[in-house]
Amino acid sequence: MAFFILTGLFVLLSVSQQARGQNYTFMREATHAPPVAYYDYIVIGGGTAGCPLAATLSRRYRVLVLERGGSPYDDDRVLNMAHFADVLSDTSASSPSQRFVSEEGVINSRPRVLGGGSCLNAGFFSRAGAGYVRAAGWDAREVLSAYRWVEDVVAFQPELGPWQAAVRRGLLETGVVPDNGFTYDHIPGTKVGGSIFDPEGRRHTAADLLRYSRPEGIDVLLRARVARILFSYKGTKPVARGVVYRDSQGIIHVAYLNQGDANEIILSAGALGSPQLLMLSGVGPADHLRSYGLDVVVDNSEVGQGMSDNPMNAIFVPSPSPVELSLIQVVGITRFGSYIEGASGSDWTTRTASTSTGTPERSFGMFSPQTGQLSTVPPKQRTPEAIARAVEAMSRVPDAAMRGGFILEKVLGPQSAGSLALRNLDPDDNPVVSFNYFAHPDDLRRCVAGIEEIERVIRSRAFARFAYPNFAFPAMLNVTAEFPVNLMRANVRGGSDPVALERFCRDTVMTIWHYHGGCQVGRVVDRDYRVLGIDALRVIDGSTFNASPGTNPQATVMMLGRYHSPLNLLPNFEQPPWIN
């Protein structure tokens, strides 16, 4: 039973809908690109930051976007929430989701699609807090303008069902106050946040922001895998001049910057891709680069440092009453440094006709023994006989056991940090990354406090309809601890004392896809996001964050692409006539 219940954390809801495509005239396969081309700006990575960045730059300049993945509009699974888990569990070379496992054994997903992480995540949309904006040195008025520019296209107000409403009331009853209603703002207390899924269940990604582009000012190349950045020198100082990339057939192309002091290459390849590409281009720790035979352009030992991921722990709460299918819609922003959220589903599995017998079979999404990312059958042992045994064991679990939801806690701004290093010279392979979850005792303290808050919510009067009476919370922890959520060995058994809860936090830690760092401000880039020691090269994405903003970073990453474009267009930006 424990094997597959956690599917519900990822398969958050199932909504029938038709994926809406975009027919961008400026988007094409990299195989159609010329061998050599020239642009004013080259953006490496058409992700959550890269799309709004490129759209803004295109209003005045010629911009090239190099995206290593394909189009989200060609993959119905990306835009259809019914196939949310299918994307995450697809480990093929063409999948929009590239699996990686941290050195601690926590399984994660790296986007490989135009629109980046906004094509894979659970859709929660919330701005950074005012204190975060001040600490970053951003202009609050222009930041708000950039958020609204994004929200006009991708953000929506969700409608709460009974289970989510009960979580909200439970948080308020247990003291996570005030009630802030629906808001994108980051305010302590309980609120309903935004979603990038519209009322019909369609996902709206950062790729949708490319509709703001001037079509004549932008080229978007798909399946363009950047190998390295090219440099020239001004005196002794390196200057970024171009990039080398391969198309899907392995053909090499080169894109150069046009002559001009303002022209730049901008890395927006994400918290894994940006530090990795800097290293592959000769920017990073000298000894590490030389060990791979790379020429050192700039010796900077801070490249790849400060890697953090907000640790998340979830508790499955079986329900005596039917519950709606829901995304994370409500968040409790506590004053002890933990966020409390929830996701529910009436049945975490689906039934499809067997390809061999035609009879209904249960599918468990990314936990399926056939294709599951976290299947208990190891990949090298997935013989037909082993898979058949796993399917048979799962089929015996009653449907009623699937009814319920998860309440999770996530540590705000973890103080634990790790590092990233090259694994090899293949830019498409995953680097070696460690997040050092719970290395700092304060992170562990906040996790324990979050778990204790979850228990109070489950026991609240407001949540009584969706929790069995007289439940044993330690037993609930034990069941949850059996889920195969990571590659660590779980040791949790009983008890809700601080020591047992600390062990629960360590043994059941998961990601919620909020990893950041590797090219941090003050360490790798300056406050204008220019790479230290190099001209004409910036990094604009989540790798620059010293802490994850708000309860969810995607709104701020999109905002950053708009706000920190090298252009100062924001105050007087006029919506182009081709935008409806």
Rg (CA), the chain: 23
Tokens coding 211 = 């509709």
Answer yes or no: is 260 a known binding residue: no
What distance in Å separates the CA atoms of residue 157 and residue 5, rounded to the nearest whole number? Answer: 28
- Contact by Cβ (8 Å): 356, 347: no
Q: Among 209, 159, 97, 185, which Cα is nearest to 561's? A: 209
Rounded Cα distance, 281 and 229, in Å: 5
What SS3 state is found at 321?
Answer: coil
Helix (H, G, I), strand (E, B) or coil at 12: coil
513: annotated binding-site residue?
yes
* Residue 514 annotated as binding site: yes
Residues 230, 281: Cα–Cα separation, whole Å: 7
CB atoms within 10 A of CB 515: 29
Catalytic residue among 204, 514, 516, 564: 514
Nearest to 170 by CA among 574, 466, 546, 534: 466
Respond yes or no: is residue 514 known to be catalytic.
yes
DSSP 421-490: E-SSS-TTSPPEEE--TT-SHHHHHHHHHHHHHHHHHHHSGGGGGGS-TT--HHHHHHHHHTS--SSSPP
d(CA 200, CA 251): 41
Residue at 402: amino acid letter: M
Name residue 395's amino acid.
Answer: S
Would you tell me how many other CB atoms lie within 10 Å of the CB of residue 502?
A: 18
Answer yes or no: is 113 a known binding residue.
yes
296 is in an annotated binding site: no
Residues making up the annotated binding site for FAD are: 113, 226, 513-514, 542, 553-554
Residues making up the annotated binding site are: 113, 226, 513-514, 542, 553-554
So which residues are the catalytic ones?
A: 514
